[in-house]
Amino acid sequence: MLKGIPKILSPELLKVLCEMGHSDRLVIADGNFPSESIGKNAKVIRMDGHGACDVLKAILQVFPLDTYVEKPVNLMQVMPGDNVETPIWDEYEKIVVAADERGGTAIGQIERFAFYEEAKTAYAIIATGEGALYANVMLQKGVVV
Protein backbone atom coordinates (compact mmCIF):
# COMPACT_ATOMS: atom_id res chain seq x y z
CA MET A 1 0.00 0.00 0.00
CA LEU A 2 1.05 3.58 -0.61
CA LYS A 3 0.14 6.82 1.12
CA GLY A 4 -1.82 9.46 -0.76
CA ILE A 5 -2.98 7.14 -3.55
CA PRO A 6 -6.76 6.67 -3.88
CA LYS A 7 -7.56 3.06 -2.96
CA ILE A 8 -9.67 2.58 -6.08
CA LEU A 9 -6.49 2.83 -8.21
CA SER A 10 -5.22 -0.73 -8.51
CA PRO A 11 -1.53 -1.55 -8.99
CA GLU A 12 -2.31 -2.49 -12.60
CA LEU A 13 -3.99 0.85 -13.28
CA LEU A 14 -1.24 2.83 -11.54
CA LYS A 15 1.35 1.05 -13.70
CA VAL A 16 -0.55 1.96 -16.87
CA LEU A 17 -0.97 5.60 -15.80
CA CYS A 18 2.79 5.77 -15.12
CA GLU A 19 3.62 4.23 -18.50
CA MET A 20 1.57 6.82 -20.36
CA GLY A 21 3.40 9.78 -21.84
CA HIS A 22 2.43 13.29 -22.82
CA SER A 23 -0.53 13.34 -25.23
CA ASP A 24 -1.43 9.67 -24.65
CA ARG A 25 -5.15 9.19 -24.19
CA LEU A 26 -7.16 7.21 -21.68
CA VAL A 27 -10.83 6.25 -22.01
CA ILE A 28 -13.03 5.77 -18.97
CA ALA A 29 -15.83 3.69 -20.47
CA ASP A 30 -19.35 3.09 -19.27
CA GLY A 31 -20.79 -0.41 -18.99
CA ASN A 32 -22.20 -0.33 -22.54
CA PHE A 33 -18.97 0.70 -24.26
CA PRO A 34 -17.38 -2.04 -26.42
CA SER A 35 -14.14 -1.85 -24.44
CA GLU A 36 -12.64 -5.15 -25.55
CA SER A 37 -13.32 -4.77 -29.29
CA ILE A 38 -12.42 -1.06 -29.45
CA GLY A 39 -9.41 -1.70 -27.19
CA LYS A 40 -7.81 -4.48 -29.26
CA ASN A 41 -4.64 -2.40 -29.50
CA ALA A 42 -4.91 -0.81 -26.06
CA LYS A 43 -4.51 -1.95 -22.51
CA VAL A 44 -7.99 -2.72 -21.19
CA ILE A 45 -8.40 -2.57 -17.43
CA ARG A 46 -11.59 -4.00 -15.94
CA MET A 47 -13.20 -2.01 -13.12
CA ASP A 48 -16.70 -3.41 -13.47
CA GLY A 49 -17.71 -2.82 -9.85
CA HIS A 50 -16.99 0.90 -9.97
CA GLY A 51 -18.77 3.93 -11.35
CA ALA A 52 -17.14 6.30 -13.79
CA CYS A 53 -17.29 9.33 -11.45
CA ASP A 54 -15.31 7.55 -8.74
CA VAL A 55 -12.75 6.39 -11.28
CA LEU A 56 -12.44 9.84 -12.89
CA LYS A 57 -12.04 11.58 -9.52
CA ALA A 58 -9.33 9.16 -8.41
CA ILE A 59 -7.41 9.33 -11.69
CA LEU A 60 -7.40 13.11 -11.78
CA GLN A 61 -5.68 13.12 -8.38
CA VAL A 62 -2.57 11.62 -10.01
CA PHE A 63 -3.01 12.32 -13.75
CA PRO A 64 -2.18 15.73 -15.25
CA LEU A 65 -4.39 16.94 -18.08
CA ASP A 66 -2.71 18.17 -21.26
CA THR A 67 -2.24 21.95 -21.24
CA TYR A 68 -1.26 22.05 -24.92
CA VAL A 69 -4.74 21.23 -26.17
CA GLU A 70 -7.91 23.22 -25.63
CA LYS A 71 -10.06 20.23 -24.61
CA PRO A 72 -8.07 17.48 -22.82
CA VAL A 73 -11.33 15.96 -21.56
CA ASN A 74 -13.86 14.79 -24.14
CA LEU A 75 -17.31 13.29 -23.77
CA MET A 76 -19.16 11.15 -26.28
CA GLN A 77 -21.88 13.30 -27.86
CA VAL A 78 -25.48 12.18 -27.68
CA MET A 79 -26.66 10.98 -31.08
CA PRO A 80 -29.22 13.23 -32.78
CA GLY A 81 -32.65 11.76 -32.13
CA ASP A 82 -31.66 10.07 -28.87
CA ASN A 83 -33.84 11.50 -26.13
CA VAL A 84 -31.32 10.85 -23.36
CA GLU A 85 -30.53 12.93 -20.32
CA THR A 86 -26.85 13.11 -19.29
CA PRO A 87 -26.76 14.28 -15.65
CA ILE A 88 -23.46 12.46 -15.19
CA TRP A 89 -21.84 15.15 -17.36
CA ASP A 90 -22.58 17.68 -14.59
CA GLU A 91 -20.77 15.39 -12.14
CA TYR A 92 -17.83 15.07 -14.53
CA GLU A 93 -17.64 18.86 -14.78
CA LYS A 94 -17.51 19.22 -10.99
CA ILE A 95 -14.68 16.69 -10.84
CA VAL A 96 -12.73 18.41 -13.64
CA VAL A 97 -13.28 21.86 -12.08
CA ALA A 98 -11.74 20.57 -8.84
CA ALA A 99 -8.76 19.06 -10.67
CA ASP A 100 -7.87 21.56 -13.41
CA GLU A 101 -7.63 25.35 -13.29
CA ARG A 102 -9.39 25.66 -16.67
CA GLY A 103 -12.48 24.14 -15.11
CA GLY A 104 -15.35 23.27 -17.43
CA THR A 105 -13.69 24.91 -20.43
CA ALA A 106 -11.32 21.91 -20.54
CA ILE A 107 -14.26 19.66 -21.49
CA GLY A 108 -15.31 19.07 -25.07
CA GLN A 109 -17.47 16.62 -26.97
CA ILE A 110 -16.76 14.22 -29.79
CA GLU A 111 -19.41 12.76 -32.10
CA ARG A 112 -20.17 9.15 -31.14
CA PHE A 113 -18.55 7.32 -34.06
CA ALA A 114 -15.56 9.70 -34.09
CA PHE A 115 -15.18 8.96 -30.37
CA TYR A 116 -15.02 5.24 -31.16
CA GLU A 117 -12.34 5.87 -33.80
CA GLU A 118 -10.26 8.00 -31.44
CA ALA A 119 -10.71 5.42 -28.67
CA LYS A 120 -9.11 2.81 -30.96
CA THR A 121 -5.86 4.78 -30.67
CA ALA A 122 -6.07 5.29 -26.90
CA TYR A 123 -3.24 3.94 -24.77
CA ALA A 124 -5.71 2.39 -22.34
CA ILE A 125 -9.41 1.85 -21.77
CA ILE A 126 -10.89 1.44 -18.32
CA ALA A 127 -14.07 -0.63 -18.49
CA THR A 128 -16.26 0.48 -15.59
CA GLY A 129 -19.64 -0.77 -14.48
CA GLU A 130 -21.17 2.68 -15.02
CA GLY A 131 -24.84 2.40 -15.92
CA ALA A 132 -25.43 5.98 -17.09
CA LEU A 133 -25.84 6.40 -20.83
CA TYR A 134 -23.28 8.43 -22.78
CA ALA A 135 -20.96 8.30 -19.77
CA ASN A 136 -17.77 7.70 -21.77
CA VAL A 137 -14.98 10.18 -21.22
CA MET A 138 -11.56 10.47 -22.86
CA LEU A 139 -8.63 12.12 -21.10
CA GLN A 140 -5.42 13.36 -22.72
CA LYS A 141 -2.37 13.20 -20.48
CA GLY A 142 -0.27 16.24 -19.83
CA VAL A 143 3.14 16.85 -18.34
CA VAL A 144 4.01 16.51 -14.66
CA VAL A 145 5.75 19.70 -13.56
Q: Which of 24, 50, 54, 116 is catalytic?
A: 116
Check: CB of residue 31 under 8 Å from CB of residue 38. Answer: no
Of 22, 68, 82, 90, the catalytic one is 22
66 is catalytic: yes
For this structure, is 90 an active site residue? no
- State the catalytic residue, choosing from 30, 66, 100, 134: 66
**CA distance to 15, 64, 108, per residue, from 115 (Å):** 25, 21, 11
116 catalytic? Reply is yes
Residue 27 CA to residue 117 CA, distance in Å, equals: 12
For residue 25, the cross-strand partners are 140
| Catalytic residue annotation | 22, 66, 116
